[in-house]
Amino acid sequence: MERWDRIGRGAAYGAALALLPYLLIKVVWVVGSLVGTLPVGTGFGVAEWVVLNTVTVGMAGIGVALALALVRPWGMRIPGALVAFCAWVGSGLLVSILPFGVLSTLLGVGADSQDGGDEPVRPVWEGLLVQFSFLGMGLGLALAVPAHLRRRWPQAFTGRAGDAPRAAPPWAAVVGAAVGLVWLYWAAGGTVGIAHPTERTTHGYALGAVSGFWALAGSAAVWMIRRGHVLPGCPAGCPWCSAGWDRARCSHGAAGSCPSPCMQLWRSRPASPLRKAPAPR
């Protein structure tokens, strides 16, 4: 077994284990809300709180199953499109949030967003476990997904991107770069296009900076792939994570969000040999 494959397999198991605390915490929230031993969030009724957290329990369960599917033999029997879609969504939500986790720690993000009202106070260790689950799952996916894709579609990892005929940069890369610059403009304090600029917090500025970074990184990586100027390890990962991040941001309807140009990165790709390897004879 190759070293890279061993690292990917270990990362997949680590991701599944890292997400278990979040899954268990959410289950406790649901059960505690139903029996009346734990408070519900401010602005929620019991039914709404239970439904919301039941959905996140399901999402966490899918995340654990995805991590195991990336390493267990039965994962290769699941349709590749389904595994790739779930991995893309998970990577967009968790891998791309890693820079924001670092920024929020350095800047103390969250201190300016506390209302100090009737919001239920959660134990500090609970918040630390939730952050551990997110960061651990994100780091695990960053290593496990490429290793799984390499086992499933080995042809896609042979040769070099520069071997393909050079073409003009795809329009999606240009639009993605423009979107990234807009995000950075907002992160730097720009107010054009912001509905309520006085209500922005440090959280919003940091999130805008991360959004701009991923949009520019994905655009630059796609441009390098099309032009044949390749940095090892960067081109495949940046469009993958930045497209997933763009999907996650726009699906949540964040203030100042825009249509998703990075969703077009996949459509504008060159022809790819992503096919199943022929069975050995």
Give the pLDDT of residue 51: 94
* Best-predicted range by mean pLDDT (34-43, 61-70, 222-231, 272-281): 61-70
Give the pLDDT of residue 31: 94
Mean pLDDT of 180-193: 91
For residue 29, pLDDT over 70 is answered with: yes
Reported confidence tier of residue 167, pLDDT bands at 50, 70, 90: low
Helix (H, G, I), strand (E, B) or coil at 234: helix
CA angle, corner 71, sides to 70 and 76, nearest 5? 65
Within 10 angstroms of residue 9's Cβ, the number of other Cβ atoms is 19
| Torsion sign (Cα): 35, 48, 111, 137 | positive
Within 10 angstroms of residue 82's Cβ, the number of other Cβ atoms is 11
pTM: 0.69
- Alpha helices in 169-227, H assignment, sequence order: 171-187, 202-227
Distances (CA, A) of 95 to 187, 210, 252, 254: 20, 12, 17, 19
CA angle, corner 84, sides to 246 and 249, nearest 5? 15
Give the pLDDT of residue 266: 32
